[in-house]
Structure 1
Amino acid sequence: MEQLEFDILDELYFVLSFEKLMDEIDCESKDDLEVALRNMVDKGWVKVMSDVDTDMVEDELESCQYEHCYFLATKKGLFAHNTM
């Protein structure tokens, strides 16, 4: 697990917006954060939400703009985070 991934999971015990997550972690750019989040979604570590209560469906993930989304660590992601 990369340091950025670890830092992201450290913040996603609760639902956070992209903007709030960007403020909380040490990430050089929005693009870097988006790439890391997309990789983590692919690994099953993070889920993407359209708002604080609604998970995005699989079809929406490819075309969504992450800067308008919310994120939460999955059980698999928390397990990976806590076994580091």
Structure 2
Amino acid sequence: MTDAEFDVLDALYFVTPFLEVVRETGLSEVEVRDTLGGLLNRGWVRCYQGPGKELMPDEVDFPQDFVRYHYLATKAGLLAHNGR
């Protein structure tokens, strides 16, 4: 796990909007976008349309809408984060 992945997962214990993840991690928007994309592919993060609306993987248009989404670490993501 990279430092960026660790920092992003650390910010995702609760459903968190993209720009808040950027603010909390101190990473650039591009770094957060790229890191979230990798974490999504691993199944370590889920996307939400808002605080209460989880999106199914086939509903996610990450390249187009990543800034609009909220994110939450999955159980697998939290286990990887805490196991580091």
Q: How does 1:27-46 map to 2 (within 5 A)?
A: 27=27, 29-46=28-45
Instruction: Tell me which residue corresponds to 1:20.
Output: 20
Runs of at least 4 residues off by over 4 Å:
none
TM-score (norm 2): 0.91
Instruction: Could you tell me which runs of 5 or more consecutive residues in structure 2 were left unpaired when the two chains were aligned.
Output: none
Listed as ranges, the matches of 1:1-80 within 5 Å are: 1-27=1-27, 29-63=28-62, 64-80=64-80
Q: Distance in 2 between matches of 1:62 and 1:18?
A: 14
Give the total of aligned pairs.
83
CA distance in 1, matches of 2:43, 2:17: 18
Q: Normalising by the residue count of structure 1, what TM-score does the alignment of the two structures yield?
A: 0.91
Q: CA RMSD in A?
A: 1.2
1:62 to partner: Cα distance: 3.3
Gaps of 5+ in 1: none
